[in-house]
C-alpha cells in the first residue's frame, strides 16, 4: 500500500508538473516535492508568499549544483535546498561582512563577537537540516571569499539580501564588493537569482535606498550590469500588489516581522491582510 508520504509526494509532483516546475523535464520534480513536503507547517504556510518551487524553477536551480545562499539566516530556504540539491550538490552559506552589522547599531558587542565564528557555527547547524542524502554544507563571508572558490559555483541566491548591502554601500563599498565577489565565484554561465522587496519606480531614490527594505528594480539591474552580469529575465511570481507602502512605511511592518503593530491588534490585522512584501524576482547570468 502506498504510504501517506508517497501519496503526498506524488500529488505535489503532479502539482509542480502542472505549474511548470523545472524538475519536470529533468526528472527532479519528485525530489523537490519531497523537500517541500518535509518543511514544517509554519514554513509551508509561507509558500503562498515565497513560492519556493516556482522561484527555484525560474532561477534554474537543480540537484547536483553548487549554490551560494547569501544571508541564509535560520535556514528557511536552506532547509529546502539541502535535500533538493542532493548528495552531489553543495550549499555554501554566505554571511554579510561584520562591518554591516556594526552599522545597523542594534547588535550587542557579545553578539558581534559570536558572529566572528559564523563560518564554523552555521554549517554545524545546517548539518542538521541535510536529511539522509542532502548536499554538503559550508560557509564563507562575502568580503573574504577564498581564492580556491573562484569560478566554482553554479548559482548564487540573493533572496531579500540586497537592501542592507545597498543601504551601507557608501560606508564600506559593501554592495560593490559583494557583487564583485559573487561574479568571481560563479562559473561562466552561472546564475544569480535575486528576490528583493520592490519599491515603486516613482518613489524618491533616498526612500528606496534600502533603509526601508525596498529597492527599485532599475537600481538592482543597473548595479548588477555594472558588475558584469547580463540581465536574463524577470518573474512576477513573488509579486504582491497589496503591498503599497506609504512615505513613512518600512517593509518590516508586514509579516512575518510585524514590528509596528506588536501592541496594536487592529493594525496587526491590517498588515496580515496585506501579507508579505511585494518582491521583484530577477535572474542574471555571468557571461560565458
User: Which alpha helices (H) appear in 187-277, and where do they start and end?
Assistant: 217-226, 265-274
Q: Is the pLDDT of residue 7 over 80?
A: no
Distance of CA 256 to the CA centre of its chain: 15
User: Do 80 and 57 form a contact (C-beta atoms < 8 A)?
Assistant: no
CA distance 247 to 204: 10
Q: If you count them, how many residues does the chain have?
A: 288
User: Do 47 and 36 form a contact (C-beta atoms < 8 A)?
Assistant: yes
User: Do 64 and 88 form a contact (C-beta atoms < 8 A)?
Assistant: yes
All cell numbers assigned to 175: 554592495
- pLDDT classification of 20: cutoffs 50, 70, 90: very low
Q: Which pTM does this prediction carry?
A: 0.91
The residue that leads in pLDDT, 29 or 61, is 61
Look at residue 29 in the predicted model and tell me its pLDDT.
Answer: 85
Look at residue 227 in the predicted model and tell me its pLDDT.
Answer: 98
pLDDT tens digits for 41-67?
Answer: 999 999 999 999 999 999 999 999 999
User: Do 285 and 189 form a contact (C-beta atoms < 8 A)?
Assistant: yes
The H or E element spanning position 113 is helix 109-115
| Structural domains in the chain plus CATH codes | 67-285 (3.40.50.150)
Q: Is the pLDDT of residue 5 over 60?
A: no
All cell numbers assigned to 212: 526601508
pLDDT-wise least confident of 15-19, 219-223, 244-248, 272-276: 15-19
Average pLDDT for residues 85-112, to the nearest whole number?
96
User: Do 52 and 195 form a contact (C-beta atoms < 8 A)?
Assistant: no
Q: What is the residue-averaged pLDDT of the chain?
A: 92
pLDDT tens digits for 72-89?
Answer: 999 999 999 999 999 999
The H or E element spanning position 282 is strand 279-285
Average pLDDT for residues 116-130, to the nearest whole number?
97
Amino acid at each position: 500500500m502506498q504510504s501517506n508520504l508517497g501519496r503526498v509526494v506524488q500529488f505535489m509532483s503532479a502539482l509542480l508538473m502542472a505549474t511548470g516546475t523545472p524538475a519536470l523535464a529533468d526528472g527532479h520534480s519528485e525530489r523537490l516535492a519531497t523537500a517541500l513536503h518535509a518543511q514544517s507547517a509554519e514554513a509551508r504556510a509561507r509558500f503562498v508568499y515565497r513560492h519556493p518551487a516556482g522561484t527555484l524553477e525560474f532561477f534554474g536551480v537543480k540537484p547536483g549544483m553548487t549554490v551560494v545562499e547569501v544571508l541564509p539566516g535560520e535556514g528557511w530556504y536552506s532547509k529546502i535546498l539541502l535535500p533538493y540539491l542532493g548528495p552531489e550538490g553543495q550549499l555554501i552559506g554566505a554571511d554579510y561582512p561584520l562591518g554591516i552589522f556594526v552599522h545597523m547599531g542594534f547588535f550587542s558587542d557579545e553578539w558581534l563577537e559570536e558572529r566572528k565564528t559564523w563560518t564554523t557555527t552555521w554549517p554545524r547547524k545546517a548539518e542538521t537540516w541535510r536529511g539522509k542524502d542532502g548536499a554538503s554544507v559550508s560557509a564563507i563571508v562575502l568580503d573574504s571569499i577564498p581564492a580556491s572558490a573562484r569560478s566554482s559555483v553554479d548559482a548564487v541566491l540573493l533572496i531579500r539580501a540586497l537592501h542592507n548591502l545597498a543601504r551601507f554601500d557608501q560606508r564600506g563599498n559593501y554592495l560593490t564588493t559583494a557583487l564583485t565577489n559573487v561574479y568571481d565565484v560563479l562559473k561562466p554561465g552561472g546564475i544569480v537569482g535575486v528576490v528583493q522587496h520592490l519599491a515603486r519606480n516613482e518613489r524618491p531614490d533616498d526612500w528606496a535606498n534600502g533603509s526601508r527594505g525596498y529597492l527599485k528594480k532599475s537600481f538592482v539591474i543597473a548595479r548588477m550590469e555594472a558588475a558584469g552580469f547580463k540581465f536574463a529575465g524577470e518573474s512576477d511570481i513573488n509579486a504582491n500588489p497589496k503591498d503599497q507602502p506609504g512615505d513613512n512605511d518600512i517593509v518590516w511592518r508586514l509579516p512575518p516581522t510585524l514590528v509596528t503593530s506588536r501592541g496594536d491588534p487592529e493594525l496587526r490585522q491590517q498588515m496580515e491582510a496585506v501579507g508579505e512584501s511585494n518582491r521583484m524576482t530577477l535572474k542574471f547570468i555571468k557571461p560565458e
